[in-house]
Each structure stands twice: as C-alpha cells, then as structure tokens.
C-alpha cells in the first residue's frame, strides 16, 4: 500500500495530469494520492497558490480582485476542458472561492482557506479524471480523512489523534485523492501547514496508513550527489538515510521541506523521490537504515549566506557559563544559530544571514561587550558552508584527508572545519567566492576517482 | 630593567644558587629577582613547600610534626653552610615557623603563612648570598613591595592598587630579591596564590615595574615544538606569541601556570624562558606580536583525559535555545566544558575527565533526557586532544591537508576536527591509544620535512 504525492509541476496542466493518471494506473498499490496546487508550466508561468494569495490580499485591502479570480478560473477551465471532465467542478471551485470571501470569519482564517483552494481543486480534478480512465477514485477532504491540526493559521501542526483515524482509511476500496497543504482543527477550522506543506500531508498520510512506501513525484530524476548547477551531470544518489537527507537538505538540497519528513521518519517508512516526466527511472530511496555502507560519502551539499560571530577572551574556558551567557544574548535577540565551534579562548557562532540585520548585529555586539567583557568580538560575513555527508564516514580513516587535499588542490582557504559532532557529516567553511571550484574539486575526489 | 624569576630547581641547593648568582652578576639590568622555594635536587627528592604543608597538616591535627621541622631546617642549613653566609638566617627561619605555629589566627591563615616560608627563606638566602659575591642586594617582603591581594587563602588575586606601588621600586638602587607565591591583604594578612604561584609573582612584578623583559629561569633550555616524551630531541621554539603559548599550554605544555601570564600579557612585556643550568642558550621568547609569521605552525601540544557528551535530536537547529539549555544543565552540575562543536542535529561537548564522575554523568544524562528530549544522548571516554598552534595558520592554504595527511599516514582515525574558531590553532580529537603515533607523524610533517 503506497502513498504517492504529486508536486506542483506534476499537476500544472492536463498533459501533466494525464502522466499522473498513467503512473497511478501502472501500480495498483498506489492507493493514496496527495496533490499540490497547479504549479508553473514553464519558467515564466505563475503558481495558482501565489495568485490565490494575491487575490486574498487584494480582497482584504478593498482593492480590485476580479482579475486574479479570472486568471485562476481560466487555468482550471483549461485543465478541465483538456481532460474532458465534468464542468461542474469548475462551478464548484468558483463557488468555493466566493463563499470563502463572504465568510464571517477572521481575515487570517479567510486567507488560509483561500490559499488551500489550489490543492483542493487539484484533488477534485484528479479524482474525477481517474474515474474517466477506468480507475475507481474518490476525492477525500482532509476533514474526512482525519487530518486534525493545531489552531495556527499558516503554520498548523498535526495532532496525534489524526493517525488512528487515518489508519482506518486502509479499509477503503477505491483510490483516495487527498489535497495537500491543509487540515482542520478539532472545531472544524481550516488551517494550512507552512509553505510547501503538501509534502507534509503526504508524509502524514503515509505515516497514518502505515504505507509500505511514500512516493514523492517531482520533476527531477533523483537527488544528486552534488548541486547540478555547480557540477555538470553529477551522479545520482540511489539510497540515502533520513539522517543523511537531513544533513544534505540543510545546505542547498531543497528537495524536501525540513519538517516534511518527520511523520514518515517516526514510522520508518521509506520515501522515494521520483520524476513524473520519467517514472521508469528508479529515483532516490530514503530509508531509515542502510545495509551497504561501503560508499561512505553519499553527497556534498553547499550553501552561501552565512556569517560568523567571533568572540575571544583570555582564559575563556575557565569561565563557567561563558557559552551559556553568549547564547542567552542571541536568544534574547531571537537569533537562532547553526553551529558554535570553540577554541580555548575563542568561540564562534555560525548564523544564517537572514537571522541578522545591521540593527540586531549592533545590539548583539553591544550586549556581548557589556556582559562578557571579551578581548575581541566581531562579525564576519560572506561565508559558505559545505557539508560532506555519509553514514559510516566516522569510522573510515582518510576522509578528512581526501577532502582537505581536494580543497588545497583547488587553492581554497579553509576558514573552518567541524568534524565529529555529527556521525554522518563533516562541515567546511570557506569564502563564498570559492564555492564553485571547491565543490567541483570535492566532487572529483569523492565521486569521479 | 629586567625581572628574573628562578624556579624551584634553580634554588634547590647551594650549587644551583651559585649559578643563579652568576646569572644575576652577568647582566646588571637584572634588578628584580623573584624566587621559588627550594625544589627537588633529584627525582627522589622532596620539595620544601610539600614538607611545610605536611608540617602544618600534622600540627593542626595534633600529630607529631617535629620530624618535618627537622627536614626543613636541615635543607636550609646545608644551603646556608655551603654558601658560607650568616647562620642568622637559619635562626630567622626557625623563629618564623615557630611564631606562625603559635599565632592566634584561623587554621587556614596559619597554613597559608607556613606554605609561604619556603619562598620567603629562599629570598632571604639569595639576597644575603648576592652581597657576598659583590652585588648590592636587599630582601624585599611582598608587603613592602606592595603586592596587595584579595582575602582568598590559597587562591589570592592581585589587586590593581599594587601596580603603582610596585612602579616606585624602579627608584631603588640595589637588586631587590622578592619571594614568590604570596602577597598581603589590605589588612595585612598573608595570602598565597594558587600552587605554582611564583610565576604569578614574577609576572606581577614585571608588569608593576614595567620591565623590558621578564625572564623565567627553569631547568629546560626552551619550549619545544612538541612533547619531548613522545618525540626524541624535538626542535626548540625560538619565539612564541602569548596567544600561541596559551593554546599550547592548554594541552600538555606545562611550562606556565595558566594565570601566570595575565599581568605580563596586559602590559605586553616579553617573557623569556631560560635554563639556569645552561644560561647561554637563548631559550624561548614569548611576545605580544610576532613579526615573522613565515613559519606558521610553531608547536603541537597534546593531552589525554577527555570525554565527549554527544546529543542528537532531529531538527535540533530549529529549536531556539537548545544549546543554552544544555549548557545550563552542565553549569548546574558545576561542569565546565572545553569545546562544543555542533552539527545540524547534533551537539558535542568536550569535557575534561576530572570534571566528571559516574554520579555526575548519570545526573547530567537524566536531566538532558528529561528537559531536552533528545533522540540520542551518550558519553564517550578515552579521547585525546591535539592542538596544532601557530599565528598565521588561518591564512595559509593547506595546513589542514598537511595535518590530516600525517594522521592518515599514521593510520589514525580522526574522531573530531575543530578549525576556525580560533585564529591560531586547529584541534584534532583522536583515540587516546593513538596519541604517540599521531604526534610523531605530525611532528615529521610540520618540523622535519
């Protein structure tokens, strides 16, 4: 019993939806289908959800919104016409939008309900279409599915009571098509997950029905060993563990939303990344545990946009609570940090640039000076992080040597190394401008030789 | 104007004290002399301070103490006789001990005063001896010198008002011989520094008189690039910066007490490590700033006896304050830590074994489980740390490569690397049993090739 989730590009138009129908038809164990809202058909296209947000925004600010309405309706009209399914769905969609706008609810609640219409409509269209190609399928609302969430518009969290309810769906005979991205509170209010939340729904359903596999259909063949924008035609990753995936997704691998994997992870359900446009390719399988740990490095991720806060004070390591006090200052300014490597008399904190601004930096520096009385405190910008990831790395002699040799060969100055805190990764910090040559050289050493 | 401090082995007997006299005579700028208590004359010998502590301990517990008294008096008698100086000093010493024992003071205060008699006697003997070899010298009590300290027996801290007072000593014409290891409170109570505190006195006097050089005479020719117990005849270090010295002293380089350098450091006074038995050798010079940064690695230190506390939790880096809460638990148990390298979902804390015991470990693990709800938490023992130290390392490409290559060549598994948090060092964690081969291989790569 499999759960298959189809992303925005897989439901962007009728051609894509026909591919989805074919995929579902080809494997009768694909019983639970989760869909996103129609995404971009090409680079310059729009996503339906973005237009829904614009519509809501215009409406609440008393601005003209009918143009947005028309764009949305036209997109769905095209899809419905090309799939040759009942026009009734189109009236349904229009009716839903209008009724939400007229709701006597909070603005927040209204906007959340509007945002969810893309996924909801995709699910209605797909289930109808599946029936026309000879499959027995039903649209299933998240409310009827039992996806019960916390009362946090735009950031709903799944509640544990959802799972037993979801498990009963195993008894249903037909294929169930469930819209992604939202659930309902115990009092029946619609709440969306954080953006990209269709992956979350898929993962929740997979966990709930205890699926044998959670298939995540996108528009790439697999997860690659390294960013294809940096290295041409990099090798594909066949199998990844959850832990490896998580380390990779941290720095530049954006296949998954971070939160998305948690429900599947907790139930140890394997996750498969596949391509709707190329479904024969095996793709990448993400599992809890991997047998074959021979190839100890599975991938190299990288990301720019980091800063370092550097603090130095003579005899710092004699000062009980120095680190705690520093982290307290950061917490007070709501700055979450990534790592904090420390020396004898020095402590660095790696922070994403989006956590900082000139004002916050000034406040943090001021408080550190006042409360910790350091010899030196400064913030460096323009740092890039590289994660070399693989289970079994820890027990293999020579990985650090291979990596540092590759970087030296590429004439890259290593600003930072953090190895050993994680079982499955090794981190390097370098100057942002060196990132391309660094990654190419590391790729050559770990995957080409 | 130089301050010269002579350690325990330099004043252990008359032969050594004659060498000290010779050294002082050879350079008329050696105006301020600080001395330790007589140390060991050979491996199986005793240190006078240890016997003074035993004496005090026996006395306060109403046990026989006259044997200790005799041992002490005999040591000083030998020295005084061989130096052919006035026996009056010997009576002075006995008189001092007896009067301290009879004092109407707290036990703590008495023991502190007893402990200081070794240094005090050394200073009296040396100043008397210097006069017999034609030098004009006076004994100067720390009280008269103006070494004013906090009221913390055995752990006194220098008070800032000492420095202007010390500065006036520059006007004295004769050589001043000051006992190390103790000072006086504002109310006139004698207080000792922490053990090894003669280095502290030397550093304080050097800072107070704004010496051009603080010479620290020991029984080694210099600071070595690596531990001579691991590598045979390692190269000497000619010049070190304070920062480098501090990083080296952290792990296995015990030339200096950590605190000792602070006063000299604050006044940027250069410190010279020299050998009383071989004073022609230039020794090692410790300076605030080094001109020549060509040789970017100056030394490799190592130490065993570390443990790692490892905590892992899915999505840890999203959890604001996770690190802080962990450090709070450690602080609550009075455990100070050395480093805390962290990954995406993992955090390690490096702790010296002397900070832990089975009971504390259990308490810490329990609190972490309860308060932080991690996926994994465990403590690893048997870790050794290696520090590769040198200013300018940060800006030299290939240092990490050289080091990891050396370790791989020696078949050493690198458990941990921490680079970049400090400007002047790179840290490696390995299994304790690999330490000898690791250090030998690193030495070969950085200093022999």
Both tokens of A442, joined, read 């590391």
Query: CA nearest A321 in B: which residue?
Result: B331
Q: Do B418 and A417 touch (CB under 8 A)?
A: yes
Distance between CA atoms of A259 and A209, rounded to whole angstroms?
19
How high does pLDDT run on average in chain B? 91
Residue from A48, A1, A8 nearest A197 by CA: A8
Q: Do B314 and A265 touch (CB under 8 A)?
A: yes
| Mean pLDDT (whole number) for B25-32 | 97
Give the model confidence (pLDDT) of B392-419 as tens digits.
887 778 889 999 999 999 999 998 998 8
Q: Does A114 score more than 80 pLDDT?
A: yes
Distance between CA atoms of A277 and A16, rounded to whole angstroms?
8
B326/chain A closest Cα distance in angstroms:
9
| Mean pLDDT (whole number) for A22-33 | 97
pLDDT at A184: 97
**For chains A and B, what is the number of CB pairs under 8 angstroms?**
200
Residues of B in contact with A343 (CB under 8 A): 247, 339, 418, 421-422, 425, 427
Q: Report yes or no: A170 and A209 within 8 Å, Cβ to Cβ.
A: yes
A200/chain B closest Cα distance in angstroms:
15
Q: Report yes or no: B220 and B275 within 8 Å, Cβ to Cβ.
A: yes
pLDDT at B259: 65
User: Rounded to the nearest 5 degrees, what angle is found at the Cα of B59, between the Cα atoms of B58 and B60?
Assistant: 95
- Best mutation target among B421, B424, B428 (most A Cβ atoms within 10 Å) is B421
Give the least confident one: A250-259, A397-406, B93-102: A250-259
CA distances to B261, B282, B447 from B286, rounded to whole Å, are 10, 12, 20
Give the least confident one: A130-144, A378-392, A410-424, B241-255: B241-255
Helix (H, G, I), strand (E, B) or coil at B174: coil
B351/chain A closest Cα distance in angstroms:
11
| H or E element, residue B326 | helix B322-332
Q: Does A255 score more than 60 pLDDT?
A: no
Q: What stretches of A211-266 adopt beta strand conformation (E)?
A: 213-218, 239-241
Residues of B in contact with A348 (CB under 8 A): 420-421
The shortest CB-CB distance from B346 to any of A344, A400, A421 is to: A421
**pLDDT band, very low/low/confident/very high, at A336 (cuts 50, 70, 90):** confident
Q: Does A15 score more than 60 pLDDT?
A: yes
Q: What are phi and psi of A338, to 5 degrees?
A: -95, -55
pLDDT at B282: 93
Distance between CA atoms of B10 and B219, rounded to whole angstroms?
7
| Mean pLDDT (whole number) for A318-343 | 84
pLDDT at A408: 93
pLDDT at B256: 61
Question: Angle of helix B117-132 relative to helix B66-83, nearest 10 degrees?
Answer: 20
Full set of structural domains in chain A with CATH: 2-219 (3.40.1160.10), 299-448 (3.30.2130.10)
Q: Do B247 and A408 touch (CB under 8 A)?
A: no
More confident residue, B163 or B261: B163
**pLDDT band, very low/low/confident/very high, at B72 (cuts 50, 70, 90):** very high
pLDDT at A329: 94
Residues of B in contact with A404 (CB under 8 A): 398, 400-401, 403-405
Residues of A in contact with B247 (CB under 8 A): 343-345
Q: Do B346 and A416 touch (CB under 8 A)?
A: no
- Best mutation target among B330, B342, B348, B445 (most A Cβ atoms within 10 Å) is B342
Give the model confidence (pLDDT) of A362-396 as tens digits.
999 999 999 999 989 999 989 999 999 998 787 77
- Best mutation target among A267, A303, A421 (most B Cβ atoms within 10 Å) is A421
Which residues, in sequence order, are bridge partners of residue B67? none
**pLDDT band, very low/low/confident/very high, at A256 (cuts 50, 70, 90):** low
Highest mean pLDDT among A346-355, B274-283, B419-428: B274-283
pLDDT at B251: 63
**pLDDT band, very low/low/confident/very high, at B133 (cuts 50, 70, 90):** very high
Q: Report yes or no: A281 and A274 within 8 Å, Cβ to Cβ.
A: yes
pLDDT at B266: 87
Q: What share of chain B has pLDDT > 70, as a percent?
A: 96
- Say which residues have a Cβ less than 8 Å from residue A209's Cβ, sequence separation at least 6: A1, A3, A31, A32, A166, A167, A169, A170
Which residues, in sequence order, are bridge partners of residue A392? none
pLDDT at B254: 59
A34/chain B closest Cα distance in angstroms:
24
pLDDT at B257: 64
pLDDT at B296: 84
Distance between CA atoms of A407 and A442, rounded to whole angstroms?
7
How high does pLDDT run on average in chain A? 91
Which ipTM score applies to this complex? 0.75
**pLDDT band, very low/low/confident/very high, at A254 (cuts 50, 70, 90):** low
Give the model confidence (pLDDT) of A266-315 as tens digits.
899 999 999 999 999 999 999 988 876 656 899 999 989 999 999 988 77
Query: CA nearest B429 in A: which residue?
Result: A420
B184/chain A closest Cα distance in angstroms:
25
Query: CA nearest B414 in A: which residue?
Result: A397
Residues of A in contact with B417 (CB under 8 A): 400, 417-420, 426
Highest mean pLDDT among A108-112, B206-210, B317-321: B206-210
């Amino acid at each position: 019993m499999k759960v298959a989730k189809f992303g925005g590009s897989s439901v962007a138009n009728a051609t894509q939806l026909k591919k989805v129908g074919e995929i579902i038809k080809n494997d009768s164990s694909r019983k639970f289908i989760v869909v996103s809202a129609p995404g971009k058909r090409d680079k310059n296209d729009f996503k339906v959800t973005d237009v829904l947000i614009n519509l809501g925004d215009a409406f609440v600010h008393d601005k003209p919104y009918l143009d947005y309405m028309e764009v949305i309706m036209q997109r769905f009209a095209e899809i419905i016409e090309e799939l040759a399914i009942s026009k009734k769905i189109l009236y349904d969609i229009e009716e839903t939008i209008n009724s939400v706008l007229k709701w006597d609810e909070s603005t927040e609640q209204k906007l959340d309900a509007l945002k969810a219409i893309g996924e909801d409509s995709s699910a209605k269209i797909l289930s109808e279409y599946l029936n026309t190609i000879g499959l027995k399928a039903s649209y299933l609302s998240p409310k009827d599915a039992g996806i019960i969430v916390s009362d946090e518009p735009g950031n709903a969290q799944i509640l544990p009571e959802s799972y037993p309810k979801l498990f009963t769906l195993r008894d249903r005979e037909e294929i169930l098509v469930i819209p992604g991205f939202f659930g309902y509170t115990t009092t029946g209010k619609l709440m969306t997950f954080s953006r990209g939340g269709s992956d979350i729904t898929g993962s929740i359903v997979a966990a709930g029905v205890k699926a044998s596999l959670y298939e995540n259909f996108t528009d790439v063949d697999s997860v690659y060993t390294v960013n294809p924008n940096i290295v041409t035609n990099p090798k594909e990753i066949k199998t990844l563990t959850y832990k490896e995936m998580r380390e990779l997704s941290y720095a530049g691998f954006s296949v998954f939303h971070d939160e998305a994997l948690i429900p599947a992870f907790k139930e140890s359900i394997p996750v498969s990344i596949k391509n709707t446009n190329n479904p024969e390719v095996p793709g990448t399988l993400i599992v809890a545990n991997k047998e074959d740990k021979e190839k100890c490095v599975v991938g190299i991720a990288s990301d720019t946009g980091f800063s370092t806060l550097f603090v130095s004070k003579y005899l710092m390591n004699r000062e009980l609570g120095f680190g705690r006090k520093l982290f307290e200052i950061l917490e007070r300014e709501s700055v979450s940090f990534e790592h904090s490597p420390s020396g004898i008399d020095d402590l660095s904190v790696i922070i994403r640039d989006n956590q900082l601004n000139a004002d916050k930096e000034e406040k943090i520096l001021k408080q550190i000076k006042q409360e910790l009385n350091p010899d030196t405190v400064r913030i460096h910008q323009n740092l890039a992080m590289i994660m070399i990831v693989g289970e079994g790395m820890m027990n293999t002699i020579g990985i650090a040597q291979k990596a540092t040799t590759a970087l030296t060969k590429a004439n890259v100055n290593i600003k930072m190394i953090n190895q050993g805190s994680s079982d499955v990764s090794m981190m390097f910090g370098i100057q942002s401008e060196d990132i391309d040559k660094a990654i190419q050289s590391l790729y050559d050493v770990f995957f080409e030789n």
